[in-house]
A and B are shown apart, each in its own frame.
Chain A
Amino acid sequence: MTKSFGSFDPLAASLRIRSMLQELAIPGTLPLPIAALMGRAERHEDKGRHDVTADDDNAKAVTWMLAVARDADQQAFASLFARFAPRVKAFLIKSGATPSLAEDCAQDVMATVWRKAGQFDPTRASVATWIFTIARNRRIDILRRDRRPEPQDLPWGPEPEPDQLDAMVLQQDTERLSAALAALPDNQRALIERAYFGDLSHGEIARLTGLPLGTIKSRIRLALEKLRQTMT
């Protein structure tokens, strides 16, 4: 089931873009590297082309993550740190941690980002999403002192060379989700934020409805299927 944003169906649209790109491509040149697409978006102010690329910040973060995972690239890690450590710290403070505890935990979280970089799969999550899950688990650890049971890792994947186009459209979906959340009425958005800061009871959460998740869910579902197929 795919929810659409108004009359525009992002899933159908990016599948169309995908097939257009595949038609244009000379065999052997796909997948287009994200870096190349990103560079193109930076060089050209051409709006039509910009539509095809993921948001520059998201795409940059993905290239940094892959550089850390593949090459233990410290420069890329420094860039990730500059972008995400202050956000993780703010997230933890909003969840009730003191600034000094939040600072220490943000360092822990970023250290985990480095260690587990190989588990990041850009066809299933944005870098912000992946770091959110690490920060959330750290919060449960520290503030609730509960164990956090995690789902079993998929025995396959992420692919050493993730499909660039799949990664790009997932990043685009994430952008659209962010935009949809930003467009919600203030009180509704504030409630969602409080939920993710760990500030709502489960009863209150049960009343949170209407999150626009259909498209991104379908995309992740396809990515999971693809990973399964690659394995067998």
Chain B
Amino acid sequence: MIRHHLSDSLLTGYSTGSLPEAFSLLVATHVSLCDECRARLEAQDAVGGAVLDSCDGAAMSDSSFAATLALLGGASPEREAREPVEGVFPAPLRDYVGGDADAVRWRPVGGGVRQAILPTAKGASARLLYIPAGTAVPDHGHTGTELTLVLSGAFEDATDHFGPGDVEIADEDLEHTPVAALGEPCICLAVTDAPLRFNGLIPRLLQPFLKI
């Protein structure tokens, strides 16, 4: 049961196409898991539909319909049988990992914690974190906005519990120390619009020079 959802402004940002790619990845992954946010997103898209519909059209060239048919090359509309995909990661995340959870190329960052940085456009970054049960989530100070989506396991802070599908939205003001719940490791997707920090591996001073 998902208890922590996306904010309205994240959904509007995703619907209008103005979020950085890393944030869009997290939104698309949560929506894949959450019907409530899928409905909220599709409602936002309806505003886009209304805006599109209210546009005064710009005349297309005379040959445009024929050109479009030529693009289609006589193909019929696709008939794909959709099959439920089994796995830990929803499809948008699998696209970035290049496979499911077992395909992640983890790198240790100390204390048993592992991470894998996912390739996204600049402006924000995305990484997967693997946190052993009972271990504190590393270096959790924020300089920008950080969103954390739990994929498996759970983490807890002083006030709350975040299980699979839950999103924690943390801005610079949030000071807390989340800890992976006991029992199983916590795997989560974390995205931030601040430069990534590393726990101990690279001196802080070098951070401004690393364009990740």
Contact = CB atoms under 8 A, between A and B. Distances in A.
A150 interface: yes
Contacts of B60: 85-86, 89, 103, 106
A69 B46 contact: no
Contacts of A107: 64, 67-68, 71
Contact of A126 (B27, B49, B64, B120): B49
B96 to A, nearest CB: 7
19 contacts: A81-B68, A85-B60, A108-B71, A128-B52, A128-B53, A131-B52, A148-B24, A149-B27, A149-B95, A150-B28, A151-B90, A152-B85, A196-B15, A196-B51, A209-B8, A211-B47, A213-B47, A220-B39, A224-B39
Interface in B23-72: 24-25, 27-29, 31-32, 35-36, 38-61, 64-65, 67-69, 71-72
Interface stretch (B76-84, B103-111, B133-141, B159-167): B76-84
B52 to A, nearest CB: 4
A146 B42 contact: no
Nearest to A175: B50
Interface residues on A, range: 35 or more
Interface in A30-87: 68-69, 72, 74, 78, 81, 84-87
B199 to A, nearest CB: 27
Nearest to A200: B18
A202 B48 contact: no
Nearest to A139: B17
Contact of B51 (A84, A148, A192, A205): A192
B18 A198 contact: yes
B12 interface: yes
Contact of A87 (B13, B35, B53, B77): B53
Interface in B131-158: none
B50 A128 contact: yes
